[in-house]
A and B are shown apart, each in its own frame.
Chain A
Amino acid sequence: MSYRSTPAGFAARVTRSAAADPGTLALSLAVEDVSGAADFIASIDGSVLAGFSGRTVWRKAKVEIGYEPVLPLVGTISIDESVDSPITSASFEVLSDRVAQNDAETWGWGDQAASITLYAGRKPATMAEWLAFEGWTDSRSNGGLYKARGAFRCVGLAAAWAGTPGCIRVGPFRGLTRGALLAAYATSVGTAIANDDILDLGAVVSRPVEINGSTLLEVAQRFGEIERWVPRVTVEGALEIVTFDSILTDTPVFSFDPTNYMTIEEQPVESPPTKLVLSGSFIPDSIRLATGGAETVRTETPGVDADGLPTLTITDTTTAAGIVTNVRVEEKRTYARDGTTAEPSVLQTYSVVEEVWRYQYADLGDGIERPTTQLHQHEKSTWMVTGIPCSSGNTLGNVWLSTGRFLGTRASLMEVGRTATEHTWNPASASVSACGLAKELVTESALYSKLAPTSGGLVYPDGSKRMEDAYSLQVIRIDENVWHDYRDRSTPEVQKETWLHTLKVDSVYGGEYLVKGDWRLETWTMEAAGATHRHRVIGTAWIPGAILWGGALSTQSATPPVDEIIDGPLLGPPVGSTDAALLRQTVQVNVYDWSALLPFVPLTESETLEFAETPAELDRVAEWRMLLARCDKLLIRHRLLPFLKIGAPVLVTSAPRSIVERRGIVWSTKRTATLPDQATSQETLVYVLPED
C-alpha cells in the first residue's frame, strides 16, 4: 500500500493492485488531492487508512460514556449508517455494575455523551486512531443475576436536531437555490449544513416555498430526490449533501473484488412500480424565466364559414414579465359591408374584442417588476363593423340596404360595448385587513339610446321611442361593492354594501333611467378568530328612487330588511397582496411506463411532488427512481474501511453474478468490532447501477 497526505487532507482511491507482493496487501491505495474526488470522501488521516487496510491488523476499540472509558466491553460494537436513515446509530455491551439506570453515578443514568474510537495499525506499537462515532446514549437495558450485562444503543450527534421540526416560508422569485433553502431550514432547526458551497447547490427556485413541521432530513430527502442529493451526517453531527450525479462520473473510491471482500450476497428484490404517475404544479416558463419586458405574440388562425368563405382570426397577446396584460382578437370574415349602396364581398374586419388588465407591480426580489395579485383595472371593449342607429327624424340619417336607419352612409368599425372594472385596495397596515379590497366598481357601457316615457321621446324606425335621436356609447349599468372593514375596531366584522345602478323604467315618469337599487348590506361577524364565521344578510330591498341621470329624485321607500343568517366559512373582501406575484401555475401529470425495462408484475404508483420546479424535474425524479429500482443490491462483507461512507461511488466485481467492475453507490454501512479479539469488519450495501 502506498499513500501520501497533503496538508489539507486528501481523498483516497483504493483499487486492486496488479500484483501484490507476498505478505503484503492486495490493495493499492492511490491518494489524490481533495480537489479531485473530494465530494465523496471525508478527509482522513493517512495513517488511519494504513492501519485499517492491512492484511494483518492490530486493533483496539475504546468506548466512552460521559468522557469515561467503558470497561469491560463484551460482545460486539456496532455502528450503522444508511441513506434511508442517515442518523448514525451505535450499540455495544458492557459487563459491569455501572449499568443501573436509577443511579446518577452509572453509565445508564439518563442520556450521556458517548463516543466510539477505533484504533488500528500494522503493529501494536503504532496505532492510528479514528473517531468512528460520537453522540449520546439513547436506549439501554441490562440483565444478569450476579454481574449485570448492560446493552447500550446510542444515536449520533445529529439526534440533537434530527427530530426537530423546522419551518420556512419564502415568497416566489427570491432567487434562492434549493441549497440555500435547505441551509435556511437547517438554521430553523438549530443546525447548519457542512457543505461550504451549500448556497450554490441546486436549482434556483421560483415557486413560493412553505414548509412547516418537517425535519431537516425529510426536507433534504425531498429536495434530494429532485436534485439527486444524498444527505448524510458527519461524525461531528452536521448534515452533509453528496451529489449523486457525480457518482456516475467521478472516480470510484473503492473497488470491491474477491481479493478484498469475504462474502457477497444479493438482497431480496421487492417488486418495484412499473408505472409511475408524477404530478406537480409549475409556473410556466414564460413567467418563470421572464425578463420583465413587454412582448406581443400574434397568432393567425384561418378558417372557413358555413358558406365555405374564408375567415381569419388574429390574436395579439401582450405579456409583461410573463403575465398577460392585453389580448386583442380581431375576427375577419368574407362579407359585404352594409350601407346605402352595395359593396363587393371581401375578407375584412368584422369585429374586434380587446381586454386589458392593469395590475399593481412589484419587484419580488429578483429585480424584475411583476404584476401582483392586486388588479387595479380590467377593461373589455368590443368593436363591430356597424352603424349608429338614429331616429326617423334625424336629418343626418341614411337608410341602409339592411333597412335600418343610421348615421353615415357606410358601416365602419366602432365601439359597441365596454365593461370596465376598477378595484380600490386598502393600504396594507397592521390594523386594517392587509391589502383587502375596499371597493369594486363595475361599469358597463353600450351603444344605446335609453327608452323614453310614453308621453315623449323620439320615434325610431323600429317603432321604439327613445330619449336621444341617435345611439351613443353610454353607461347602462353600474355595480358597486363597498367593504367596510371594522377589524381595526373592537368589533371584528366586515360589512359589504352592494349598490346596483341599472336601467329601469321609472314608475313615476315611465322613462328608462339609471337608478340606484337592489340595496344590500351584508355583515360578516367573526365570532371567534379563525373559527366559526357567521354570514348575516341584514336586508334585501328594492328601493325605487334616487334617479341618477335624466329625471327628478323620487321618494325612497325601503322595504323592511329581511334577516338571513348563513353559517359558513369566512367571507370578506377579496384580499390581494403586494407580496405575492401573480402566479399562474399549471398542473402537469406525467406518466412514466417502465414495463418494458422492469420484468415485474405491473404496479402503478402515483405521487404529487411538492417541490418540483419544472416538468423536467418530474422526469429527473422518475429517471432516478427507475434507476434505483433497476439497481442490483449487493450486501458485501469486508474489512472495515473508515473512508467508505454512504453515497460514495464504488466498483464491484462478482463473477458468479456476471458483475465485472460495475459502478455502484454505497447505500448503507454497518461497522462491527467483535470483542475481545477486536475483529473488525464492515457490511456495505451497494446499489450496483444497471449496465446501460
Chain B
Amino acid sequence: MSGIVETIYFGGENLACGPDTIGERASFAESVERLADTSAVTDRPAPWDGCPDVISKLSFSLSWPTSKSADHRMFARLRAKAAPFDVCLWKYAAAIFSGNGVRTEFVLPWRLALKSLDVGSWPAPEEYIETEYATEVLVDGVTLTEMTDYTIGVPDEIGRTPITFTAAPSDGDGNVEVYAVPLLLMRRIGDEAGYNREAGMTRTLTVEEVA
C-alpha cells in the first residue's frame, strides 16, 4: 500500500477524508563543503547521545481538492493551535545507527506510531497492523527480537525514543537499522483554504517536523 492511507492520523484524530496529494520533503541536518580539489567533506551534527547517523526533518504539503465537513473542525483547530501536533502518515521510516561495540542505547528521533497511538487511531484492523506496521530492528543484517534482544523505552517530551539492546551492537558503520512507522511532532507553517460552489471547501496545509 504505497499510496495515501485514507485514515491518516493528523492533528490528534483520524481524518475522515484523506488529502488528494501529499508532498513530502526531507531536509538534512548536515553541512557539505568542497575542498579545493573538488572533493566533498561532510559535517553532521550529533546533537544527542545515541542519535542516528543521519538526522533529517520532514515537511509535508497536503492538498484537499474537496473535503468532508467532518474534518472542518480539525482544520479550524489547527489554524488556531499554538502547540505542535501529532502526524502519522502510516509510512515507514528508517533510522540507522553505527555501533561501537560498547553503546547499548540508541535513540530514535521520533515516537513509534504503533506504540503511541491507541487502537482507535490505527488505520486498519488490529491483526493487519501487527504485521504491516511492526517495528523491525536489525543489527549487522540480523533481525532481532523485541524484549529478548532489545526493548523500546518511553519517549521523552519531544518524542525521542530510546532502544536498549541486551548486547551492545558491534563496532560498524551503519550496522544498526531500525524500520518503523514514526509518529511525528509537527507544526503548521502554511494553511490555505478555498471555497467553490460544486466541491465545497478546498484546503492546502503545509506542516514541518518540529522535534
A679 near B: Cβ within 8 Å? Answer: yes
A121 near B: Cβ within 8 Å? Answer: yes
Partner of A679, one of B31, B39, B50, B98: B31
Cα of A55 to Cα of B45 in the assembled complex, Å = 14
A244 near B: Cβ within 8 Å? Answer: no
Cα of A261 to Cα of B34 in the assembled complex, Å = 9
Cα of A394 to Cα of B101 in the assembled complex, Å = 124
CB contacts (< 8 Å) of B53 on chain A: these are 58, 123-124
**Binary CB contact string for chain A from 668 to 692 against chain B (1 if under 8 A, 0 otherwise):** 0000001011111100000000000
CB of B39 within 8 A of CB of A26, answer yes
Q: Which residue of B is nearest A56, CB measured?
A: B42
A126 near B: Cβ within 8 Å? Answer: yes
Partner of B43, one of A124, A258, A264, A680: A680
Query: In terms of DSSP, what is the predominant structure of the interface of chain B?
Result: loop
> Which of A124, A126, A127, A674 counts the most B-chain CB atoms under 10 A from its CB?
A124
A516 near B: Cβ within 8 Å? Answer: no
A260 near B: Cβ within 8 Å? Answer: yes
Given contacts A676-B29, A677-B29, A677-B30, contact A59 B44 (CB under 8 A): yes
CB contacts (< 8 Å) of B100 on chain A: these are 123, 125-126
A57 near B: Cβ within 8 Å? Answer: yes
CB contacts (< 8 Å) of B44 on chain A: these are 56-59, 124, 677-678
CB of A124 within 8 A of CB of B52, answer yes
Q: List 10 A-B contacts (CB under 8 A).
A: A57-B44, A60-B47, A124-B44, A125-B100, A125-B103, A639-B41, A677-B30, A677-B45, A678-B45, A681-B33
B147 near A: Cβ within 8 Å? Answer: no
Cα of A640 to Cα of B43 in the assembled complex, Å = 11
| B58–chain A nearest beta-carbon distance, Å | 16
CB contacts (< 8 Å) of A119 on chain B: these are 46
**Binary CB contact string for chain B from 1 to 40 against chain A (1 if under 8 A, 0 otherwise):** 0000000000000000000000000000111011111011
A259 near B: Cβ within 8 Å? Answer: yes
Cα of A639 to Cα of B41 in the assembled complex, Å = 9
B99 near A: Cβ within 8 Å? Answer: yes
CB contacts (< 8 Å) of B30 on chain A: these are 677
CB of B31 within 8 A of CB of A677, answer yes
CB contacts (< 8 Å) of B139 on chain A: these are none
Q: Which residue of B is nearest A127, CB measured?
A: B46
A263 near B: Cβ within 8 Å? Answer: yes
CB of B173 within 8 A of CB of A123, answer yes
Q: Which residue of A is nearest B172, CB measured?
A: A123
Given contacts A26-B39, A260-B35, A261-B35, contact A676 B47 (CB under 8 A): yes
Chain A residues bordering chain B, tally (CB within 8 A): 29
A616 near B: Cβ within 8 Å? Answer: no
**Binary CB contact string for chain A from 44 to 79 against chain B (1 if under 8 A, 0 otherwise):** 000000000001111110000000000000000000
A262 near B: Cβ within 8 Å? Answer: yes
User: Which residues of chain B in 76-118 are interfacial with respect to chain A, using CB atoms and an 8 Å cutoff?
Assistant: 97-100, 102-103, 106
| A257–chain B nearest beta-carbon distance, Å | 8
CB of A259 within 8 A of CB of B46, answer no
B51 near A: Cβ within 8 Å? Answer: yes
Cα of A261 to Cα of B33 in the assembled complex, Å = 10
Q: Which residue of A is nearest B37, CB measured?
A: A258
CB of A59 within 8 A of CB of B45, answer yes
CB of B98 within 8 A of CB of A259, answer no
Cα of A316 to Cα of B173 in the assembled complex, Å = 87
| A681–chain B nearest beta-carbon distance, Å | 8
B-side residues, CB < 8 A to A, are: 29-31, 33-37, 39-47, 50-53, 97-100, 102-103, 106, 173
Cα of A182 to Cα of B42 in the assembled complex, Å = 45
CB of B50 within 8 A of CB of A124, answer yes
CB of A679 within 8 A of CB of B37, answer no
Given contacts A56-B42, A680-B43, contact A123 B98 (CB under 8 A): yes
Interchain Cβ contacts within 8 Å, total number:
88
Query: In terms of DSSP, what is the predominant structure of the interface of chain A?
Result: strand
Q: A258-B37, A677-B29 are in contact. List 6 more A-B contacts (CB 8 A).
A: A58-B53, A123-B100, A125-B102, A125-B103, A260-B35, A679-B31
User: Which residues of chain A in 119-163 are interfacial with respect to chain B, using CB atoms and an 8 Å cutoff?
Assistant: 119, 121, 123-127
CB contacts (< 8 Å) of B52 on chain A: these are 124
CB of B35 within 8 A of CB of A262, answer yes
CB of B35 within 8 A of CB of A676, answer no
CB contacts (< 8 Å) of A123 on chain B: these are 53, 98, 100, 173
Cα of A260 to Cα of B35 in the assembled complex, Å = 6
| A424–chain B nearest beta-carbon distance, Å | 80
User: Which residues of chain A in 633-692 are interfacial with respect to chain B, using CB atoms and an 8 Å cutoff?
Assistant: 639, 674, 676-681
| A625–chain B nearest beta-carbon distance, Å | 32
| B132–chain A nearest beta-carbon distance, Å | 30
Cα of A56 to Cα of B98 in the assembled complex, Å = 13
Cα of A680 to Cα of B44 in the assembled complex, Å = 10
CB of A124 within 8 A of CB of B51, answer yes
User: Which residues of chain A in 4-55 are interfacial with respect to chain B, using CB atoms and an 8 Å cutoff?
Assistant: 26, 55
> Which of B33, B35, B51, B173 counts the most A-chain CB atoms under 10 A from its CB?
B35
Cα of A59 to Cα of B46 in the assembled complex, Å = 6
**Which 9 pairs show the lowest CB-CB distances between chains A and B?**
A679-B31, A258-B36, A123-B98, A124-B46, A58-B46, A677-B31, A678-B45, A679-B43, A125-B100
Cα of A57 to Cα of B98 in the assembled complex, Å = 13
| B77–chain A nearest beta-carbon distance, Å | 24
CB of A262 within 8 A of CB of B34, answer yes
Q: Which residue of A is nearest B40, CB measured?
A: A55
**Binary CB contact string for chain A from 226 to 261 against chain B (1 if under 8 A, 0 otherwise):** 000000000000000000000000000000001111
CB of B33 within 8 A of CB of A679, answer yes
| B68–chain A nearest beta-carbon distance, Å | 38
Given contacts A123-B100, A124-B51, contact A59 B35 (CB under 8 A): no
CB of B36 within 8 A of CB of A60, answer no
CB contacts (< 8 Å) of A264 on chain B: these are 36
Cα of A464 to Cα of B33 in the assembled complex, Å = 110
CB of A259 within 8 A of CB of B35, answer yes
Given contacts A258-B36, A679-B31, contact A125 B99 (CB under 8 A): yes
CB of B35 within 8 A of CB of A678, answer no
CB of A121 within 8 A of CB of B36, answer no
CB contacts (< 8 Å) of A676 on chain B: these are 29, 45, 47
CB contacts (< 8 Å) of B173 on chain A: these are 123
Q: Which residue of A is nearest B99, CB measured?
A: A125
CB of A678 within 8 A of CB of B43, answer yes
Q: Which residue of A is nearest B103, CB measured?
A: A125
CB contacts (< 8 Å) of A681 on chain B: these are 33
CB contacts (< 8 Å) of B103 on chain A: these are 125
CB of B45 within 8 A of CB of A60, answer yes
Given contacts A123-B53, A125-B50, contact A262 B42 (CB under 8 A): no
CB contacts (< 8 Å) of A126 on chain B: these are 100
Cα of A126 to Cα of B171 in the assembled complex, Å = 10
Given contacts A125-B50, A125-B99, A679-B31, contact A259 B37 (CB under 8 A): yes
